[in-house]
Structures are given as C-alpha cells and as structure tokens.
A and B are shown apart, each in its own frame.
Chain A
Amino acid sequence: MSIGPYHYLGLAAALFAIGVIGVVTRRNAIGVLIGVELMLNAANINLVAFSRFSGGLDAQIFAIFVIVIAAAEAAVALAIILQLFEKRSDVDVDRARTLRG
C-alpha cells in the first residue's frame, strides 16, 4: 500500500477530532491544553502533507514556526495553570467561574 495524501489528511482529521473531544470534555486544565496541542499539530500535519504533495517548501518551514509558537504558548499556559493551582489548589477549569454573567 502506498501512502498518499489522503492518509495524512485522515490522520490529521482524526487527531483534530480527538483534540476537540479532549478540549470539550476535559475538566483538568492540562487536559484541555493537551487537546489544543493535538489540534494544532493536526493542522501542522496537514500543512506538511500538502507541502510534500504539492511542491513548495514554504509550508514545511511554516510548520517549524508553528511548533515554536505552540511551545511558547504551552509555556505561558502552563505558567498560568501553575498560578491557578497555587491559588485554588486544583486545576479544574470548570471551577474557575467567578467571572460570569
């Protein structure tokens, strides 16, 4: 079996879907964060796959940028989650609801 673009796209779609489900169902902030990372990486796989099968290199370079940005984002997110833990002793995003209405 030869691996074609659709396999990559299928994998990315599956990853994206898993990410979405994780984001929506997880109450643990870190779980939500992981879900988001999955979604970002799914998009990244798409980028690389399209780049691989349609010629140009620029999207592959772009994917590297995205990885860096995702790392920065995760670092900031973890820092904020840590602060949340320090304040409330848990990281349940559902219980952080003083701001509402």
Chain B
Amino acid sequence: MQVDLPSYVPWIIFAPAIAALIQHFRGEKLPRKGDLVVIGGILVSAFLSFRLMFEWAALEPGQYFEQTWSWFTLAGGHTFTMGIVVDGLTASLLCVVTLVATLVFCFSTAYMKGDEYYHRFFFWLSFFAVSMLILTLADNLLMLFMGWELVGLCSYKLIGFWSKEIPNAEAAKKAFITTRVGDVGMLIGMLILYATCDSLSIKAIFEGVQAGKFAGSETALTWAGIGIFFGAVGKSAQFPLQIWLPDAMAGPTPVSALIHAATMVAAGVYLTARMFPIFTPDALGFIAWTGGITALLAALVAFTQTDIKKVLAYSTVSQLGYMIMGVGVGAPWAGMFHLTTHAMFKACLFLGSGSVIHAMHHAQDLKDMGGLAKKMPITFATFSIATLALAGAPFFSGFLSKDAILIEAWENGHGALFFIGLGAAFGTAFYMGRLVYLCFLGKPRNQEKYDHAHESPWVMTVPLIILAALSLSVFYDGFADKFYRTPAYAAEFPITETNTHAYWTTGQRPDDFHEGHGPSWFHTVAMLMGVIGLGVGGAIFMSGKRNEKTRLLPSGLHDLAAGKYYMDELYLDGFVASANRLADGCTWVDDNIVDGLVNTSGKGGLVLGVVSADADQLVVDGAVNLTAAATQGAGAVASTAQSGRVRNYLAAALGVTAVAVVLLVFVIG
C-alpha cells in the first residue's frame, strides 16, 4: 500500500549535497577546513532519516512511502521517472548509513588531523554519503545505478587518498576495475529486464514479471537475476571478485569503516534483497552457493593475516558472504538483518582498529602490538564487545542475525550450506579470538611502540562506545519482523509461479513452513560455535609460545589461504598475460602477413616475379618491430595495427571494405 512521501525526505539527500558543494568550493578557507559544515550536513540527514524511520514504523504493516517524479518523456509516451521509496529496507539502511556516517565523520576529525588534504577528504566523505543515499532511496534501477556508480567513484578516490604511495593508487584502481567487471553483469541484467518489462522502475519490473512477461523464457529471467546479482558480486566482494576488498584497506581507516565495512559493500546485499522477487530458484541457488563459498574461503584467509585491518577485511568479505547466502536460501530478511547488525559491530571494529593504529603511529601489523588493553581500556572494551557480536555470542546482535541465516538455510533444505555456514561461524570466532589476543592481551611485542601508545581522544572513543552499545542484542528484539518481513511492492505482487522460495513476497508463510526458530539444539550449537571459537582462538596463544606468525592451518591449506588462493596471480597471468600474447600475435600478423601481403601483392601485380627488394626489409623490420612490441609489454591489441605507415592504413581500409562487399554479396545476394 502506497502512502505519500513526507515532504522533507529529499532533504535527506540535499543536506549533505549542499555541504559537499560548499566543501568543494570553499572548504579550504573555512574555519577548521570545513569539517563542521560536512558534519552538520550529515547530522541533518541523520535526524531526518530517524524521523522518517519512526514515521514509517507508525504505518500499518505492508504500507510504504513512495513518490515518483516524471523525469523526461520519450516520443511514444515512454516516461522515465525519478522516485523515492521508503519501506523497512530503506528506512533501516538509511538509519544505518547516516548514523555510521555521522560517527565516522566525527572520528575522522581526530584521525585525519593535520592531513594536507583534510578538506578534500571531507568533501569526498560527504559526496559519498550523498551517493549512498541516492542508491538507498531509489525506486528504480536507473537511479539506483547512478548511486551505484557514484559510490564506486568515491570509493576509488578515498582508497587512493594517500596516493603518494603507489600501492594505494594501484589498490584504488584495482577496486574500481574489479567492481566494474561486476557492473557489466548488472548492466546486462538491467537491459534484459528493460527489454522485457519496458521499464526500469522496480515496481513495474515486478508487475511485468508477475504478469508473465517472462512466461516461457524463465531462463532469460534466471540470467537477468544472475546478471543483477553479478553487480552485487563485484560491489560486495563475493567470490570470485573478492580480491579488491582487502587491498582497499590502503585507504584511511575511517574510510574502511564507513565504505568498506558498513555501507557501500553492503549495497550489493541490499540490491539482491530489493530485487529478490525476480530471482528464480536457479538464480537463488547460484546466489546462495556464491555466498556460502565466499563466507568459508574468506574466513580461512583471515587465519593467516598479520595486518589488523586485513584480518577485519577478510572478516568483512566472509560476513558479506553470509548475508548473500541468507538472501540466496530464500530469507532476504535474514540477510538484511545481518547487514544491519554487521554494520554496527564491524564499523566499531574498524574504528577500534583505527584507534589502535592511531595510537601506534600508523603501524598496523600485529607484530608491533600485544598487551594494549592496559593502555587503551575503552578501545579494548568496545572492540571486545564488537568481537563478541561478530562471533555470535549470546546477548549480542550478531547472535540473532547469524542464527537467523543458519536456521533459514537448514529449514529451506540447504543442509550443505548450513554446515558451511556453521564452519564459517566457528572460523570467524576463532580468528577474532586470535586477533583480540594478539592485539590487546599477552605481552607487548614491540616495547617501544607500546610505551608511546595512548588512549585516543574523546571524539574517537565516543563513536566507539555508541557503536559498541548498538552491538547488544537488546536493540534488535522484533527488529527483523518489523522491518524486513513486508518490503514495498512484494506484498502487492506475489510472484509465486516462478519463485517458489518467495514466501517473503506473499507476506505469509506456506503452511508447511516451520516457525523460523528451528529445533532447540540450533541455538545451542550456534552459541557454542561462537563461544568455543573465541575461547580456543584466544587460548592457544596463552602459553606465549605462539605468535602472529604461527601457522594455524595445515601447511598446504595455509599456503593456499595465505596466497589468497592465488587468484590475483590467476587474473594477472590468465588475463593480462594472454592479452600480451595476443598483442604480440597481432604485431606479428601485422608486420609479417599484412605487410607481406601488401608488398607481395603489389609487386606481384605490377612486376612479374615475386623477388622483391622489400623481402629483407620485411624480415628485419618484422623482427625489430616484434621485439619492440614485446618489450612494450602490455602493447596494445588494437594499437599495434597502428603501424604508422600510411600504406598499411590504406590496405586495411581497402581490405575491410572488400570484406564488407563480399559479405554484402553473400548475405543479400
């Protein structure tokens, strides 16, 4: 049921947008380099978001706010719209984004203090908030895609923020390009949906699917779904495109907390949950397994990392896999629930690590840490609470959401995924236990750094305390049912024909469905996994014989995981090297065959006898060019055809024209 949008909603986007504009043009000259303007903008946005959330919560179940504006109309009356939809998904994500953003902005004022480009950093943060809010509020795929691309751009800029160091710039580029690979899939998915439903409005797509526009071509719908999901694979760092997220830790830590833990990377999960009704059972299976595999593989890598942020990064990948798995097993509400809780405790963990790094003067390797609990009690306490939440200990938020995903996996008949999830949960608890022990407990391993360490200022600790508090389970009682069970549109368009898992879309469960709590031993097992994992993970270091370098996995597996499954190498060798070979091949063809043809045909046509003075030049030139191109390394496929010789150009033009003529003759006759 649609309700008109309160008039202040656009200001949720406008407020930070205006702040970003001011910051861009005047930031450097403002007092405090303009950070207060940016924080003011996001505060307004956060206030309005919470107000909106409460207003939405006061609506009847199944009601949602929506308003669309006509954007432009094409001939034939086809209108494109811009619109805002606010349902439980949007409302909760809005609050998460604005809340975490506010806290991270405050945190950054201390963390980034004295940076040369302080004002620029705040501009990009603010711009990111705007983009993320556009993405969140969009009611059509076009607008969503705009936000999607813009957050990618901001992420690129912010990862490479300290770009004087080459690896940072490389990491930024890698992140951008890897996610773009996913975006190709998303574009194709969008195009299939558009071609069939003739609209990019999410509501219209659901209507179209329900009206049977895909009837008889369910495969197309499956591919559309997988295409859309592929966008999420890139953005949410799922297997096999997960390689960018750990490298993205090159950015400043507040950026990691905001973009690469709490909000942007979760956008993929949000997209998958939002578009849930279009996924066919095949597509859902694909999604679920992608998520499950990611969750497990990333958890294993986290065992081997010695950089505090890298551990957290792999943990994020793993948890995102969890959420995706939740959506895939037919419980988007559980995935979204985990997204919300995860945003809080993971932001807390990242900001905690930021606090540690700040205290250690930008050292972030575990070898320099140990025993910091005494020096940094607040950071330690909040970090521990968030760790308990991440590990899924009872009374903490992670317990509820992780439990929900596991139970749904079991009850929807994904036994294998259930055990994978259980394994990943144990792994998570284990490496977090390891991290906390190595960082905060035991003896200091670098006495000098330890002596200089100090607790962070209040602007950094207060956000930590707030986030840690929000990692307690008391805040989330009945939360998932309220927010995620009846998303917009879904109740209006039950799409049961193509999507048997989609009880979510009907708003009611089929009769044979278990009331989502499962057998009682579930909770016990899940709880045990978390608690035991944490305990073991910490305890094995107690003796003091082991340190961050100790191999915890069987040797072969350790090497594999520490090498990140050699996927970077695979991509590098597989794609880049074959591109090089292809380029070399093209050069060879160009220099030998094309030139040869030109020369021989020319001479052959005019002079009898093929012996030509060009022959030696041909060979010599060919060899020289080949070497030159080979040393050029990445020498281009297309640009090697650009030999610089005008006769080659002429020959190429004539040749292609001749081919076109031949085609014409054969095709049309």
Contact = CB atoms under 8 A, between A and B. Distances in A.
Choose among B598, B601, B636, B650 the residue with the greatest number of A CB atoms under 10 Å from its CB: B650
A94 B650 CA distance: 12
B644 A21 contact: no
B643 A100 contact: yes
B606 A25 contact: yes
Interface in B594-626: 598, 601-603, 605-606
A13 interface: no
B651 interface: yes
A11 interface: no
B665 to A, nearest CB: 16
Q: List the 9 closest pairs (A to B, CB-CB), nearest first.
A: A100-B644, A25-B602, A97-B644, A93-B646, A94-B645, A101-B639, A21-B605, A97-B645, A100-B642
B605 A25 contact: yes
Interface string A26-37: 110000100000
Contacts of B642: 100-101
A12 interface: no
A70 to B, nearest CB: 18
B644 A24 contact: no
A98 B645 CA distance: 9
A21 B602 contact: yes
A21 B606 contact: yes
For chain B, give the interface size range: 10 to 19
A12 B654 CA distance: 18
B324 to A, nearest CB: 44
Interface residues of A, number: 16
Contacts of B598: 24-25
Interface string B644-656: 1111001100100
Contacts of B646: 32, 93-94, 96
A97 B650 contact: no
A99 interface: yes
Interface string A80-101: 0000000000000110111111
Contacts of A25: 598, 602-603, 605-606, 647
Given A25-B602, A32-B646, A94-B645, 8 more contacts: A32-B650, A93-B646, A94-B647, A97-B645, A100-B644, A101-B640, A101-B642, A101-B644
Interface of A: 20-21, 23-27, 32, 93-94, 96-101
A97 B645 CA distance: 6
A38 to B, nearest CB: 14
Nearest to B598: A24
A94 B645 CA distance: 5
Nearest to B595: A94
Contacts of A32: 646-647, 650
A25 B642 CA distance: 18
B643 A97 contact: yes
Contact of B602 (A24, A93, A97): A24
B647 A93 contact: yes
B649 to A, nearest CB: 10
Contacts of A93: 645-647
Contact of B650 (A24, A96, A98, A101): A24
A23 to B, nearest CB: 6
A97 B650 CA distance: 14
B631 to A, nearest CB: 13
B650 A99 contact: no
A43 to B, nearest CB: 14
Contact of B647 (A27, A100, A101): A27
8 contacts: A21-B602, A21-B605, A25-B602, A25-B647, A32-B647, A93-B646, A97-B644, A100-B643
A100 B601 CA distance: 24
B491 to A, nearest CB: 59
Contact of A24 (B636, B640, B651): B651
A27 to B, nearest CB: 7
A98 B642 CA distance: 11
A97 B628 CA distance: 15
A24 B639 contact: no
A99 B654 contact: no
A23 B647 CA distance: 8
A99 B644 contact: yes
Contacts of B650: 23-24, 32
Contacts of A97: 643-645
A21 B601 CA distance: 9
B643 to A, nearest CB: 6
Contacts of A98: 644
Contacts of A94: 645-647
Contacts of B651: 24
B303 to A, nearest CB: 47
B650 to A, nearest CB: 6
B654 A20 contact: yes
Nearest to A100: B644
B68 to A, nearest CB: 50
Contacts of B647: 24-27, 32, 93-94
Nearest to B632: A101
